[in-house]
Structure 1
Amino acid sequence: MDGSADAKLPDVLSDLTLRLAQAGDARLPQAFLSVVGRIHDLISDLRPSADELRAVIEFLTDVGHSADARRQEWVLLADVIGVSTRVEDMNCPRPDGATPNTLPGPFYREDVPDLPFGANLSRDGIGESLAVEVSLRGLDGEPVRDALVEVWQANALGRYENQDPDLQPEFNLRGRLRGDAEGRVTFQTVKPKGYALPEDGPVGRLLNALGLRLERPAHLHFRVMAPGYETLTTHIFDRADPAIGHDALFGVRPELLADFRPLGAGRHALDLTLVLVRSRAVATSVSHSKRKEG
């Protein structure tokens, strides 16, 4: 790209601005112009060749072709470059004492079955057993009653069920459970293993080419929904996992570390507390009520 080509870039942006002005003050045109402007700045800095541009387009095309109902490669790409975490932190700030909100990740499924209190999530029985007891609390210590809790995890080999449709039963190590009136949820499962992000897709191949680590420490995912509280999506990590210091998706935080306690004979236990935040409308109502009582 020569100097004369660089000189034309502001004209391109000005022309786009004039065309989009007719759309009014909508956020989409503003966002589009901001993205285009930054792309033009990036092109001016990197000065890519035509072959390099085609390589980028081919990579993005491969990402799209690798995304389907079982695997979301676009989500994986957003995760590994830290975009997902950044957006989550900006949009879901958590007060001190609340369990941090994290990301559902690329292996989340919405269509999980309902299971009874204390159910076993393992449908194939493969792996060392893990008994989990979760206490759901609000910031004031009150029990969060009758919550719906979705759980999903990798198996003892570090593989999610939707990565292994031919090797694991449908919905293996997934389920939705109802908490009780005391804010408790219990279930049986198997101890998950840490894993590497998939290397067979364009995102994994890119990370390998860059020499970046793909490991994730072992963890359980939770999504908690309860009336009057903000939905909490988080995951709890095995404190003893050797990859705990270099999570490829930037999800590890001190508040999310827990002890997967060995009990002997291939059995383990996990006891944890998840702290939810009241929804804004409920929090405002409670605050107003306390002021009136005062």
Structure 2
Amino acid sequence: MSTQTEDGEMNQLTHNGTGFPFFSEDTSVEVVNLRMGGSVNPRLKQVMTCLIQHLHAFIKEIELTQEEWELGIDFVTRTGQLCSEERQEFILLSDVLGISMLVDAVNNRHPFGATESTVFGPFHVEGAPHLEMGANISLDAKGEKCLFEGRVIDIEGNPIEGAVIDVWCDNAAGYYDVQQPELQPKWNNRGVFITGADGLYSFYGIKPVSYPIPNDGPVGQLLEKLDRHPYRPAHIHFRVAAKGYRKLITHIFTADSLYIDSDAVFGVKKSLITPFKKCDRSDAVWSAKYNFVLAS
């Protein structure tokens, strides 16, 4: 490649005499990727080579302006500044762009019949108390009481003994306990259960309610600019693990919830939408039955 200098002389810019090309719009991907050394981890090299290729292609296709680039840098900077032990704005950004769900899909290609996975979410807390089957995880006694029950089984329908079921849910106002540590009891709407030989599980909680993801930061501003709402449909989280089986991270969604077809983080799958039925029990207003099928 050649370009004309101001004094009319032709200046060869393709290579600098060392075998490596100079940087230009046409050679940008090649130049950047050639700078990686020979001792780079092979997987890191593969990831970064592909990332540079797609990032540069995006900038060229969209013809990104200097002002837009500066705006992007400011957005990323503010996103990082908002992160803390209690809040991860980058995970939120990944969620609303559909990246979290795509990574989940790529990494959880389960066989037909296994329960589908969905996003982990930012509000899980390790160390929730282990409870007996039939316990009530709602500690603030607010919301409409619901009985959750079902089985953990394998693809052939056999019960799985010793499956660890970790559950967590928002409260009746749409907040997780870690969002309101001064208002909610610790471990409110959280618990861990272990199945017996029959694979059955049961516990009481509340019928989940829809809620907005945190939208007072850069991600919320982005959603507003994109004319998108920040709401998630009503759901309860499950993490199910058993020896010899793939760990399952999923939700079950209330079939009558708003935002089922417009989840802000794209987490809804048809197989996870569950009828919550009114029940005539004296100890619950609603019941929800769901069987979790684990892949070996």
TM-score by length of 2: 0.86
Q: How does 1:33-182 map to 2 (within 5 A)?
A: 33-182=49-198
Which secondary structure does the structure 2 equivalent of 1:162 belong to?
helix
Task: Give the Cα separation in 2 of the matches to 1:21 and 1:211.
Answer: 44
Q: Deviations over 1:207-245 (max 9, x none)?
A: 011101222111111000111111111100000112222
RMSD, aligned α-carbons: 2.2
- Asked if 2 retains the 8 angstrom alpha-carbon contact of 1:73 and 1:106, the reply is no
Query: Within 1, Cα distance between the matches of 2:114 and 2:85?
Result: 32
Check whether the contact 2:95–2:101 (CA below 8 A) recurs between aligned residues.
yes
Question: What are the superposed Cα offsets for residues 123-164 of structure 1, whole Å, 9 maximum, x if unpaired?
Answer: 211111111112111110100111111001111122111222
Pair member with larger Rg: 2
Q: Secondary structure at the match of 1:30?
A: helix
Number of aligned residue pairs: 275
Asked if the contact 1:23–1:29 (Cα under 8 Å) also holds between the matched residues in 2, the reply is: no
Counterpart contact for 1:157–1:192, Cα < 8 Å: no
SS in structure 2 of the partner of residue 9 of structure 1? coil
Rounded Cα–Cα distance in structure 2 between residues aligned with 1:256 and 1:70 = 28
Is contact 1:221-1:236 (8 Å) kept? Answer: yes
SS at match of 1:185: strand
After TM superposition, the runs of 4+ consecutive aligned structure 1 residues lying more than 4 A away are none
Matching of residue 217 in structure 1 with residue 223 in structure 2:
no
2:111 match: secondary structure: coil
Q: Determine if contact 1:161/1:170 at 8 Å carries over to the other structure.
A: yes
Identity of aligned residues (%): 36
Q: Are 2:28 and 2:56, in contact at CA under 8 Å, matched by a contact in 1?
A: no
Contact 1:118 1:187 in 2 (8 A): yes
Q: Where does structure 2 lack aligned partners over 5 or more consecutive residues? A: 5-22
Shift in Å at residue 67 of structure 1? 2.2
For 1:224 and 1:58, the matched residues in 2 are separated by: 39
- Report the structure, 1 or 2, having the larger helix content: 1
TM-score, L = length of structure 1 = 0.87
Could you report, residue by residue, the CA deviation over 1:257-294 in whole angstroms, capped at 9, with x for unpaired residues?
Answer: 1111122687111111111111xxxxxxxxxxxxxxxx
Query: Any unmatched runs of 5+ in structure 1?
Result: 279-294
